[in-house]
Structures are given as C-alpha cells and as structure tokens.
Amino acid sequence: MSGDAHSRRSHTLSFSRRWLDYIVFLCRRWLCLLIASMLVSSCGESGAPVASETVVAPLMSAEQARLEAFFSASWKEDLARNPATASYLGVRDQQDRWNNLSESFQLESLHIARERLTFLEDIDTTQLSAERQLSYRLYRLELERTLAGAPFRHHRYVIHQYRGPHTSVVSLLINIHSITSKEDAIAYIARLNNLPEYFDGVIEQIHLRADKGLYLVDWMIPKMVESAGNVLSGAPFDDSREPSVIWADFNDKLDRLVLESAASERLREAARTALLTAVKPAYERLIGVIASQQDKVASADGVWRFPDGDAFYADRLQAFTTTDLTAEEVHQAGLTNVARLHDEMRTVMVELGAEGELSEFLVQVRNDASLRYPNTDEGRSSYLEAARKAIVSMAEKLPEYFGLLPQSELIVKRVEAYRERSAGKAFYQSPPSNGSRPGIYYANLYDMNSMPVTDLEALAYHEGLPGHHLQRAISAELGDVPDFQRHTRFTAYTEGWGLYSEYLAREMGFYQDPYSNFGRLAMELWRAARLVVDTGLHHKRWTREQAIAYLVTNTPNAEYDCERAIERYIAMPGQATAYMIGKLRIVELREMAREALGDQFDIRIFHDTVLGSGAVPLDQLEASIQSLIQAALVNHSK
C-alpha cells in the first residue's frame, strides 16, 4: 500500500436517496449482492414496485434448516460444557461451575470438533442463503483452525504471567458473578468449593507440558507466584485486618441483598469455610507446582526452543493474522512501517517546534513529567475522568461515520490491584448479547509513567469507541446470525479494527493537540514494532533483553512499559502481530472501495459492511467489500 493511500483523508459524502436500499440492508445484516437481487425481483414487468403485502419471504431450504439446527444444538452443547465461558456470555444456569481443563476433556473436545466437521462436509452449501453460507464458512474455518493447531496444543502456555487461571478466577468472581439473590450467593460459594477440581486440570496440563520439555520461561515463575499469592493475602487467609480480594467481593455483594441476618451469616460462614478449605489449598498447590519448575526451565525466551517450535510459531502467525505471511515477511513489514511512522513523527516534531534527532525527542517525551498524571490516587482518578470525556466526545461524532451503533453501555475502570502488576497496559471486556452487563475498558494505572497523556486519546478510541466496544457490542447484538457468529474471534480483524479506530479518529477531527497526535503515531509505532520484536523473539532467536532494547530505542514508551510488553509477546507468541496486519488490510480495502466507487463511496456504508457480519478472517472481509462495490455499481447503473 502506498504512503499516499495510507495517509489519504476520507471525505464523508452527502447521504442521497439512492443509498436508502443499502441502509435497510445493512441494518438487517444482509449481504449487498443479495439485497440488490431482491430489489430487482420485487418489481413487476412494468418496473413498478410490487405492493408490499404481496411480497413473500423465501422459504428456508431443508438443508439450511438442518444447518440452523446444528448451529443451535452445538452452541447449547458448548455452553453446557464450558460454564465459566457461559457466565461471561450472560448465561447463569451453571454459576457453580468452572471450565474443565483436564486432558480427557480436551481430547473429548477434539473428538467433538472432528464429528462436527464431518457433519459440515455433508452439507450441500448450494442450498444455503448467502448469509448462511458465510456462517457455514466461519464455523468450518474455526473447526479447521482448532484441528490444525491440535498437534501444538501443549505448546501453548496453559498459564503465564500475563493471564491465566490464577487471575481469571478472581476476575470472573468480581466482574461477572453478580449476587442479586440468595441463589446467586449459594452458587458463588459452590464455585469456591469447586475451584480445586478446576486447578487440578490446570496442574495436569502443566505436568503434561513438562513431560514434553515444554517448560515455562524462568522469569515468568516469580511473577505468577506473586500474583497467585496476592489472592491469598488478607482475611480470612491470614490475621490481616484487611480482607482478601475475594472475601471483600463476596461481602460487598452479600451486603446489598435484603436477607435476614441469620441467613446472611450462614452464607458468610459458608464462604469463609470454602475460602479456607478449598480456595487456599488449591492456590497453594498451584503455586507449588509453578515454583517447582524454577530450577528446570531454560533461560531462552522464544518458542523456537520447543520441539517443532518453528512449525508451532508458523501455526500461530497463520491463526492470528488469518494470512499466509511468513515470519520473515512479517518482520520486514514491521521494519518498513517503523521507518514510515518515524518519518510521520518527524513531521509532528516540526509542528511542535522541536529540534534535533527523533531519537532525542523520543527520550524527551519518555521522560517529560508534564506529559503524565501524577502517580497518585488523584492522578489516577484524573486519568480515568479524561478517558471518559474522550469517549463521550467520540460518541457524539459516531453517527457521521457509522449507521450501526451499539446498544450496550461502556464503562471505564482501573485494573484491579491484585493483577495490575502483571496485566497489560489496557484491555477490553465485552458485554453479553443480552445487555445484562456493560462493556468495560480497563486502564492499567499501576505505573502512571507508563500511561502518558499523549496516548490517552488513542487508547480510549482503541479500547472503547469506535474500537473494541463498538465492534464487539455490535457483534454481540447481531440479530440475524447464529449465536456462535456473534462471539467468533479473529484477532487480525478485531485488533486490526481497534488500531484502525485510532487512525480513523484523526480523520474524524480528534487529536487536536499535536502531542496527542504524536501519541497516536506512537501507539501505531508500538504495533509496527511488535511485528519486529515478536518475530525477532520467536523466529530470529532474540533474547528478552534484545527485544526490550529495540522497543526502548525505537519508541517513546517507558522502559517498564517495554519490559512488560516483551514479556507479553513471549507468553503469547504471534498474537501481537495481528494488530498492524489487520489495520493495514482494512485501510487497503477502504481505499480500494473509495477508488472503485468514486463519488458513490460512503464511509458509513463501508464501516457498517465491515462490522455487519461480526468478526471474519481478512480474506472474507475482502470478499464482503468486493460485494459492496459490485452491488453499489449495479445500483448506480440503474
């Protein structure tokens, strides 16, 4: 993609009557070519529209009915087999259970995947509607990805310092498991009592990996031991006057219930007993197993050190980017985009009146205290308030660029203290499709030096609006797709959209402060540099220290921020490459549509087409945009 195409500003064209048919279609999530043919067939021989009461919806084929029944049954089966996942989706019928990580369960899941793929191979796709053909392709691709990655399933860390069962347990209890009735409280306590079984599965997976020589990295271990230990800090686990994080959460929620005091005390005592007899021993066993690897692990960081490590990394790149790009191609794309963004930063330096080399300016921005909120509670509150204001301002502008808008609320929260030292800089938690919880943008404010004001807008747009919240909430709220399709994840699409949202906000008139625009460029630079360091670590055999040094040299981010990021890329090989790969493709497709349609191009219709079917792989996204172009050209020629 040329630099001109990349930097070209979009011009929102006036809305005209000839686009009304497309807005109707987009709101109903129909594909463009299908709606065009429907509009033609709705006219009589004279060309006059047929009266609306005479239009009959096409009958569903028997084959499609069979597929719809399969989608429904498999979705229900998956929710039943994965209670914790169901809780995140707002399903509350198994709130006493966790997901099952045992090896027998994992093997059973692979068997189910093979059976489902066999069923899909027997479907006559020519009998499906266009939108259900898309659903079919997405479901089949997910099965094929699962089975293709099966030989490497033990190569993936079952637990690491960035995220894992030791922290996700607490996150689910605090953020997902609400207590609005006595039954909810009883289920909460049952979940505490069932934790040992869940952790037994985690421990089994750790041992299986160790038997294959697939150990954790040495520096991960103290971080995980610390995070897990934090869960056991406070009452009733010790003599502290301060409650532990789970005990505080349970009591806070129970206090909001209107119960007789005797009933409340019985529940409280049952929860205390569960914490001491189930949760504490389970965490202590897990901590012991993790710590026992300390003297066995190697100091090498990349997955190249694993048996078949290169093949595993190639599988991860393909899965996360949904492309066939090689590690070397990804690495070179990173170097090219780092150079491009450095040039754009030099332009902003001129605007700011800054002199000297870019490298010197990066150090200046990194060390400028005036570009950070104070590392105090007041400073953290100020940051959160500024992020909320940025999102409110963006929300007011969205209708000019989007027809589809989310119904779910978005809130901004600080990452909880028990996990903030090991958690990422910022992340998003999706709302369920029933709207029972809001989407949450989490900002990690442990070290305010790592959260400069320059990045504040771009982070808010990426995690909130028009980024993850807009995309994932719309996906969850889709009404005309199978349940699985609302929650399918393709990282290049979802994270590419997040990064594209940062870029789009500039075209929408935001980042008025040059320093804020510099921060936007710094955020994109961060994703370009990820292509370099992720492949550097896992393909070129860089050390953790080499990768950290590259980020420190080429970005304005604080060294602590660089260290934490590199540790994330080591723990999640390939995942970080999806952001820039996805964003570049979305921009390319937009410029392709703009060039093909000229004055007929409408940014709202483009965005709604991108968002209107949920997450898809990049090749399918291109097919959707090609359909949009063809349908628009057909409509314009009439």
Residue 322 lies in domain = 313-582
Asked whether residue 209 falls in the same domain as residue 67, the answer is no
Instruction: Determine contact, residues 107/88, Cβ cutoff 8 Å.
Output: no
Q: Between β-strands 410-414 and 426-429, what pairing exists: parallel, antiparallel or unpaired?
A: unpaired
244, 276, 299 - which closes a domain: 299
Phi-psi map region of 465: left, alpha, beta (phi>0 left; psi -120 to 50 alpha): beta
Asked whether residue 523 falls in the same domain as residue 402, the answer is yes
For the chain, counts of helices (H) and of strands (E): 28, 3
**Tokens coding 594:** 């703009």
Asked whether residue 32 is assigned to any structural domain, the reply reads: no
Instruction: Determine contact, residues 605/403, Cβ cutoff 8 Å.
Output: yes
Instruction: Determine contact, residues 35/22, Cβ cutoff 8 Å.
Output: yes
Instruction: Determine contact, residues 151/306, Cβ cutoff 8 Å.
Output: no
Q: Scan for tokens 């006595």, then name that residue.
A: 182
Asked whether residue 178 falls in the same domain as residue 248, the answer is yes
CB atoms within 10 A of CB 178: 15
Asked whether residue 175 falls in the same domain as residue 321, the answer is no
Asked whether residue 140 falls in the same domain as residue 262, the answer is no
Asked whether residue 275 falls in the same domain as residue 398, the answer is no
* Cα–Cα separations (whole angstroms), residue 66 to 69, 135, 488: 5, 13, 21
Asked whether residue 44 is assigned to any structural domain, the reply reads: no
H runs (alpha helix) in 322-376:
327-352, 358-367
Asked whether residue 572 falls in the same domain as residue 465, the answer is yes
Spatial separation of the C-alpha atoms in residues 189 and 393, rounded to whole Å = 42
582, 603, 629 - which closes a domain: 582
Instruction: Determine contact, residues 459/523, Cβ cutoff 8 Å.
Output: yes
First-to-last C-alpha distance (Å) of the chain: 33
The predicted pLDDT at position 419 comes to 85
Mean pLDDT, each 10-residue run in order, the chain (638 residues): 38 31 36 34 35 51 97 98 95 95 98 98 97 97 96 97 94 95 98 98 98 94 95 96 97 96 97 98 98 88 96 97 98 98 98 96 96 97 98 98 96 92 87 90 95 97 98 94 94 98 98 97 98 98 97 94 94 98 98 97 98 96 97 86
Q: How many CA atoms lie within 13 A of 79 on its CB side?
A: 19
Instruction: Determine contact, residues 232/283, Cβ cutoff 8 Å.
Output: yes
Asked whether residue 371 is assigned to any structural domain, the reply reads: yes
**Tokens coding 208:** 């299986």
Spatial separation of the C-alpha atoms in residues 274 and 279, rounded to whole Å = 6
Asked whether residue 541 is assigned to any structural domain, the reply reads: yes
**Tokens coding 443:** 């900002």
Q: Between β-strands 426-429 and 439-443, what pairing exists: parallel, antiparallel or unpaired?
A: antiparallel
Burial of 245 (0-12, 13-18, 19+ CB in 10 A): buried
Instruction: Determine contact, residues 544/568, Cβ cutoff 8 Å.
Output: no
Asked whether residue 429 falls in the same domain as residue 556, the answer is yes
Instruction: Determine contact, residues 570/301, Cβ cutoff 8 Å.
Output: yes
Asked whether residue 257 is assigned to any structural domain, the reply reads: yes
Asked whether residue 557 is assigned to any structural domain, the reply reads: yes
H runs (alpha helix) in 156-217:
165-175, 182-193, 195-211
Asked whether residue 291 falls in the same domain as residue 339, the answer is no
Q: Scan for tokens 């400073």, then name that residue.
A: 379
Q: How many CA atoms lie within 13 A of 262 on its CB side?
A: 0
Tell me how many domains the chain contains. 3
Asked whether residue 376 falls in the same domain as residue 290, the answer is no
Asked whether residue 508 is assigned to any structural domain, the reply reads: yes
Spatial separation of the C-alpha atoms in residues 152 and 527, rounded to whole Å = 26
* Cα–Cα separations (whole angstroms), residue 308 to 102, 106, 150, 208, 214: 24, 21, 13, 16, 11
Asked whether residue 182 falls in the same domain as residue 95, the answer is no
The amino acid that residue 105 corresponds to is: F
In the 8-state DSSP scheme, what is residue 51? P
Q: How many CA atoms lie within 13 A of 550 on its CB side?
A: 23
Indicate the length of the chain as a whole number: 638
The predicted pLDDT at position 15 comes to 28
Q: Which of 448, 377, 376, 461 is nearest to 412 (CA)?
A: 461
CB atoms within 10 A of CB 394: 21
Alpha-carbon torsion 523, 526, 527, 528, what sign?
positive
Spatial separation of the C-alpha atoms in residues 88 and 81, rounded to whole Å = 14
Asked whether residue 442 falls in the same domain as residue 575, the answer is yes
Q: In sequence order, what are the beta bridge partners of 235?
A: 243
Q: Strands across the sheet with 410-414, in order?
A: 410-414, 439-443, 426-429
275, 299, 323 - which closes a domain: 299
Instruction: Determine contact, residues 571/345, Cβ cutoff 8 Å.
Output: no
Instruction: Determine contact, residues 162/444, Cβ cutoff 8 Å.
Output: no
Asked whether residue 270 is assigned to any structural domain, the reply reads: yes
In the 8-state DSSP scheme, what is residue 276? I
